[in-house]
Structure 1
Amino acid sequence: MAVTMASTICPRAHAQAAMLMEEPFGLFGFMNPTGHDAVYFERICAETPVKLRRCAPGQLGAVITRYQGIAPYDWIAMPLLPYLYSVENASEVPSHVDQATVNALREKYHDAHLLSLGKDVPRGGNVKRGWSQFVGVSYERRIYAFRFSTAEAQDDALIARMNGEANLSRFNLLHRNCADFTAAILNQYFPQTFRRSILPDAGITTPRQISYKLVRYARKHPEIQLALFDLPQVPGYRRGSRGNKSIAKSLIANGAVVPLAFLSPYVAGGVVLDYLIWGRYPLPLKRLEILGPQNMAPLGGEKVERDPGLEHQQ
């Protein structure tokens, strides 16, 4: 109740946060094309990868998210530039990369800052997950940022809650995934807005679903000053990432609905109806302002303008 009251009393425009909807990539992204999401905070920084604090002047803030395979931790906090590009200075970000360059940048950052996670956290790869998931994310995929305003009291309350709770792995792809974690954080800022439901997506929370609910909330609450940005994938290392899909669209796009129709036409028909009626999640992702390593200021609140596409979103 105190956090809710603070959100109405305290001015929101003093700092910014952003939900990051990250596109799927690679083999796992083909099998599960829902993607990943995280939350960036301008005012919150990572004292360690598992402890939060207020940012000092000049710091860019941190990204907080849930990952599988970061034993024994449930969530990780990373400074913005290392999370996106594996470096601490924007001038060090290459314009084009190969696998050797990406691996070298990640290893350098890991050895300097992530050894505290312990030997139980592997590097990881396409199948087994590890610390490489959250170092240099922009070399793997395109990211859409949904920026909104926050108040000091809200950010301080989140820091206290995250630092006060046991950070023990609870990941489950069906009901405790990255989107569930993001929904829990956003509910602290916008109470009872992000709820689990049987339909759409068979009760599974997805990044596109959370993004759509945030856009829908912003249409009714312009005071949060929602703005959308495009953080492109750095070219060269991988083929371009794919668009985020709902569960129903994933089954249709991957062709899984065809064998499902032989097993149960009613279930297959339900998947199609789920997509057509509930699961399309239209988002205003065209003609967005593009942000790169040398131009991160708008993510932290400069040029606070309401996205005109939100007015026409149905």
Structure 2
Amino acid sequence: MPLMRAPRAVPFLMALALVLLVCQTGHAQAALLMDEPFGFFGFLNPTGHDAIYFQRICAETPVKLRRCAPGEDGAVITRYQGIAHYDWIAMPLLPYLYAVDSGSEVPTRADRKAVTDLRDKYHEAHLASLGKGVPRGGNVKRGWSQFVGVAYDRRIYAFRFATTEAQDDALIAQMNAGENRSRFNLLYRNCADFNRGILNFYFPRTFQRSILPDAGITTPRQVTYKLLRYAREHPETQLAVFDIPQVPGNRNRSRSNKSIVQSLITSGYVVPLAFISPYIAGGVIVDYLVWGRYPLGLKHVQVLTPEKMESLTLSGSGEVPRGAGAPL
């Protein structure tokens, strides 16, 4: 008796299932971290800081990247001003947030001495490769302490988006091969400019510098708004938003991130500008009202705790806040 021929659709369905399985396992995620401003410098310049977390990319050293091994939680990459003359630094996620290696070690409240002890302990154990001459930093001149235990100083919002293995591997190769030497400039080569460049690596020609708003200066809130707006137009980005609260005890609560023109208005800098030139002051106000408000809608987002970071470190769930990325 001749063998029955399989329906022609079977090989096609099997191939489709294989493709879907490969595509599913080939995706990971990254997250833009918008860090709120704090302290005296945060009062003078309330734009804040930002960084990018990668689920699949880990830090072999603070200045060399590699693919993560199973069970590792990824790394945060960001630009700071003159940390041992490097342009960017990479840190494991939990040490970046809490200066510890395990969520169970994070205190529910930590005074300034406890935070200093946690940072010093982590620095001695893991950051010797940066060199002995790297300053700790303080409220005025920053140093290595600004990327160890960030959540003791400020609240952080994480804007998670999908990436692929090919994209992450290409970024690792590019950053390891590039010249990691600091050319920091507060106006045109700041932390937000660094992240704008990385986002353009994943979403080419999307995050461009513009004259208005903010006189062409890139800020964390501006980059975040553009990511939210892009994600609304491209559902495949799979954007999800999370709140990483500030650990109490070390500092007063951090403030919300502002644009340049919003900073000029809310901090009162626009008043002396009005005496110098009413036209300049009027231009700042118009710039803010027309272009520079950047609504993010962050009132109802999922809160992450040190022992429950799975929504960020694994394929989790979250919601784009209502109104986020809506046209001005």
> 1:238-278: per-residue Cα shift (whole Å, max 9, x none)?
00000000000000011000001111111111110110000
Asked if residue 84 in structure 1 is aligned to residue 97 in structure 2, the reply is yes
> 1:134-187: per-residue Cα shift (whole Å, max 9, x none)?
000000000000000000000000000100001000110000000000000000
The alpha carbon displacement at 1:302 in A equals: 3.1
The alpha carbon displacement at 1:301 in A equals: 3.7
| Contact 1:21/1:208, CA 8 A, preserved across alignment | yes
CA distance in 1, matches of 2:187, 2:24: 37
TM-score by length of 2: 0.91
Q: Secondary structure at the match of 1:294?
A: coil
Match of 1:159 in 2: 172
Match of 1:258 in 2: 271
In structure 2, which of residues 293, 303, 311 is the aligned counterpart of residue 298 of structure 1? 311
Match of 1:21 in 2: 34
In structure 2, which of residues 60, 68, 74 is the aligned counterpart of residue 47 of structure 1? 60
Q: Which has the larger radius of gyration?
A: 2
Match of 2:83 in 1: 70
In structure 2, which of residues 211, 217, 235 is the aligned counterpart of residue 198 of structure 1? 211
| Contact 1:123/1:132, CA 8 A, preserved across alignment | yes
| Contact 1:12/1:150, CA 8 A, preserved across alignment | no
Asked if residue 248 in structure 1 is aligned to residue 261 in structure 2, the reply is yes
In structure 2, which of residues 228, 233, 240 is the aligned counterpart of residue 227 of structure 1? 240
The alpha carbon displacement at 1:308 in A equals: 5.7
Identity %: 71
TM-score by length of 1: 0.94
In structure 2, which of residues 37, 45, 63 is the aligned counterpart of residue 32 of structure 1? 45
User: What root-mean-square deviation, in Å, do the aligned CA atoms of Structure 1 and Structure 2 show?
Assistant: 1.5
Match of 2:18 in 1: none
Match of 1:129 in 2: 142
Match of 1:4 in 2: none
Larger RCO (CA within 8 A; separation ≥ 6): 1
The alpha carbon displacement at 1:69 in A equals: 3.0
The alpha carbon displacement at 1:55 in A equals: 0.2
Aligned length, in residue pairs: 306
CA distance in 1, matches of 2:56, 2:169: 9
Match of 1:114 in 2: 127
Question: Residue 81 of structure 1 aligns to which amino acid in structure 2?
Answer: L
Match of 2:289 in 1: 276
The alpha carbon displacement at 1:310 in A equals: 5.4
CA distance in 1, matches of 2:39, 2:97: 18
> 1:11-55: per-residue Cα shift (whole Å, max 9, x none)?
697211000000000000000000000000000000000000000
Asked if residue 148 in structure 1 is aligned to residue 161 in structure 2, the reply is yes
Tell me: CA distance 1:164–1:249, structure 2 relative to 1, closer, same or farther (3 Å).
same
Match of 2:17 in 1: none
> 1:78-127: per-residue Cα shift (whole Å, max 9, x none)?
00000000000111100001000000000000000001101231000111
Q: Secondary structure at the match of 2:251?
A: coil
Structure 2: unaligned runs, 5 residues or longer: 1-21
Q: Secondary structure at the match of 2:249?
A: coil
| Contact 1:225/1:306, CA 8 A, preserved across alignment | no
Q: Secondary structure at the match of 1:88?
A: coil
CA distance in 1, matches of 2:240, 2:30: 10
Q: Secondary structure at the match of 2:81?
A: coil
Asked if residue 185 in structure 1 is aligned to residue 190 in structure 2, the reply is no
Question: Residue 92 of structure 1 aligns to which amino acid in structure 2?
Answer: E
Q: Secondary structure at the match of 2:160?
A: strand
Match of 2:11 in 1: none
> 1:267-302: per-residue Cα shift (whole Å, max 9, x none)?
111110110000000002111100011111001243
